[in-house]
Amino acid sequence: MTVVSQDGNEESVVVPPSLRDAADLEPAEQECSERVVVNISGLRFETQLKTLARFPTTLLGDARKRMRFFDPLRNEYFFDRNRPSFDAILYYYQSGGRLRRPVSVPVDIFLEEIKFYELDEEVIETYKEDEGLSKEEERPLPSNEFQRQLWLLFEYPESSGPARSIAIVSVMVILISIVIFCLETLPEFREVPPQPETHPNGSAQSKAPSPFTDPFFMVETLCIVWFSFEFTMRFLSCPSKAAFFKNIMNLIDVVAIAPYFITLGLDLAEHQGSSQQAASLAILRVIRLVRVFRIFKLSRHSKGLQILGQTLHASLRELGLLIFFLLIGVILFSSSVFFAEVEDPKTVFSSIPDAFWWAVVTMTTVGYGDMYPSTIGGKFVGSLCAIAGVLTIALPVPVIVSNFNYFYHRENEEEENVQYIHVTCGQPEQLPSLGESDSMKSNQSLSKTESYQGSDDLEVLTHPNVSQPETYTGKLTDV
C-alpha cells in the first residue's frame, strides 16, 4: 500500500497480514462475526451471529423469523419467554446441537420453549426419548364414509352428541357389571339351597339350581351382549385389523368378554354330566377372578386414567430403579434384623426369607405390626430400615410428578382444538388459515380440513399445537 507523506514524497508501507485479511472480509462474513444481544424477559444474552447461523431453520437462526422480535431502540432482540430455559437453548447453538434440560425447568415448560424457538423435529423427538416421554402416535381414520362415522361413534366420544351418549351407556354398563361381580359374592346370594327333584319311582333327589334362572346371570348376560355389540362394531369399523388387536384397550375388551362364554360352556358341560367337576370349579374360580379386569374398561372413557397410564409408562425406568433399590434394602435389612434377633428365643424372625415381609412393610412405612423386633439391636436396624425406605421412595417421585404434569397439560391442550386431516394423493396441501383455526377454537367442535400429501388415502386425527397453528400429518400408512 502507498502512503503520501506531508512533504509530498510517496512511501511504501507493508500492511500486516491480519489487518489486510480483516479489511478484505466479505460483508456477509463481517455480518456473521457481529455480536447480537438477546433479551429474555430482562436477562440479556450476548452471542455472535455466526453462532446462531449454525441452524438457519430455527427461529434465532433465520434473520427473517427473528426480525419481528427486534427492538431498534435498544438494538436487541426481545423475547418474553422462560429465562432459565434459554441457557440450554443458547448452548444448543454454541455446542452444535447438544440439548439438555436445566434441572430447575419442568419437562412440559422446556418442551414448549424448544417448540417456540422452532428447533428441529428430530431434536424434539430425541428430547422426548431422553426424558422418557412416549411418542405421540397418529390415530388413523377409515377412508369409507360410513365406516368412518361408525368408528368415530364408538371410538371417540367427543366427536358428536350420539357418540357421547354411547360412551355414557357404556360406562353405566361397566359399573353395573362391576357391582354385580361384587354383590354375587355376598353370603346370602352365594349359598343357594339345592332344589329337590322327584323321579317317576317316587324318590327325591336334590339338584343344583340352573344358573340360567339366576338374576345375576341374567344381568351379566345383558352386560355381555352390550360389550360384544360394542366390540364387534369397533372391530368392523376399525381402519386396521392388525393394529386393532395391538391396542391394549381392545385386549382388555376381549378379557372382559371371554370369561362369560368360557363359564357358560363349563356350566353346559356340567349339566350334561361331565365327570371332571372339580377341575371345572377350579377353572371357574380363575375365570371369575379375571372378570375384575373389566374395571380397566373405564380407562377408555376416563382421561384421568389414561393420563395415569401414560405417566406410569413414561416412568418405567424410575419405577424399575425404585423396585431395585427396595429389593436391595429388603435383602439388607431382613438379614440384619435376623442376626440381631437370632439370640432372642421369642423372636418372630425365624429366617431371613421370613423377615422379607417385615422389611417391605417397614420400608414402605406401612407397618402392620404383625412382626416387630424386640431387642435393642433389632430396633436400631428397624429405625434405619424405616429411614432408608422414606429416602428410597422419595427419590423418583419428582420425576413421576413431572411426567404427570406434562401429560396433564398436553391433554388439556389437545382437548382445546382437535382437527381431522384428510390426506389424499396427487393434490396440493390445503391447510386451514389462521382465521379458520381461530374460529375452530372458538367453536370448540371437531372440524375437518383438507390436507393432501403422500401416496395413499388416509384419514389422520391430529392435535395441532395450541400456541401455534401447525398441522402434523406424519407418516402415511396403508389402511
- Provide long-range contacts, Cβ within 8 A and 24+ apart, for 313-316: 313/134, 314/131, 314/132, 314/133, 314/134, 314/403, 314/407, 315/132, 315/396, 315/399, 315/400, 315/403, 316/132
Residue 365 has pLDDT above 70, yes or no: yes
DSSP state of 445: S
What are the tens digits of pLDDT across the range 84-105? Answer: 999 999 999 999 889 989 988 9
192: part of which helix (H) or strand (E)?
none
- The residue with greater pLDDT, 44 or 479, is 44
For residues 147 and 267, the answer to whether their CB atoms sit within 8 Å is no
Q: Where in the chain is the domain with CATH 1.20.120?
A: 145-188+213-301
Residue-wise burial string across 12-33, b where 16 or more C-beta atoms lie within 10 A, e elsewhere: eeeeeeeeeeeeeeeeeeeeee
Whether 25 has a pLDDT exceeding 70, the answer reads: no
Which has more pLDDT, 158 or 364? Answer: 364
Domain with CATH 1.10.287.70 in the chain: 305-419
**CA atoms within 13 Å, Cβ hemisphere of 298:** 16
Which residue, chain included where needed, has cell 379375571?
290
As a whole number, mean pLDDT of residues 114-121 equals 91
Q: What is the mean pLDDT of residues 7-36?
A: 51
Determine contact, residues 223/180, Cβ cutoff 8 Å. Answer: yes
- One-letter amino acid at 4 equals V
- Quickly state the pLDDT bin for 433 (edges 50, 70, 90): very low
Would you say domain 31-131 falls under CATH 3.30.710.10? yes
- Give 223-282 pLDDT, tens digit per residue: 999 999 999 999 998 888 888 888 888 888 888 888 888 888 777 776 665 545 555 566
Contact of 143 with 458, CB cutoff 8 Å: yes
Dist CA 320 CA 384 (whole Å) = 23
* Confidence (pLDDT) at 436: 42
Across 223-235, b (16+ Cβ under 10 Å) vs e yields bbebbeebbebbe
Write the pLDDT tens digit of every residue in 312-337. Answer: 888 888 899 999 999 999 999 999 99
Which residue ranges does the chain devote to CATH 3.30.710.10?
Answer: 31-131
Q: What is the largest distance, in Å, between two alpha-carbon atoms of the chain?
A: 152
Confidence of residue 210 (pLDDT cuts 50, 70, 90): low
pLDDT at 303 over 60: yes
What would the mean pLDDT of 390-403 be, rounded to a whole number? 88
Structural domain 305-419, CATH architecture: Orthogonal Bundle (1.10)
Confidence label for 386 from pLDDT (cuts 50, 70 and 90): very high
Is residue 205 scored above 70 in pLDDT?
Answer: no
User: Which pLDDT score, from 0 to 100, does residue 24 have?
Assistant: 47
Cell of 338: 435376623
**Does the pLDDT at position 80 exceed 90?**
yes
Kindly state the helix (H) or strand (E) to which residue 52 belongs, with its residue range: helix 49-52
Considering the chain, what is the average pLDDT of its residues? Answer: 76
Q: What is the pLDDT of residues 44-65, one digit of tens each?
A: 999 999 999 999 999 999 999 9
pLDDT tier at 116, thresholds 50, 70, 90: very high
Read off the pLDDT band of 339 (50, 70, 90): very high
145-188+213-301: CATH topology is Four Helix Bundle (Hemerythrin (Met), subunit A) (1.20.120)
**Residue 376: what are its φ and ψ, rounded to 5°?**
-65, -45
Kindly list the strands in the beta sheet with 35-40, ordered across the sheet, starting from the edge strand earlier in the chain: 43-48, 35-40, 76-79, 70-71
Average pLDDT over residues 120-132: 83
Predicted confidence at residue 129, as pLDDT, reads 79
- State the average pLDDT over residues 155-179: 89
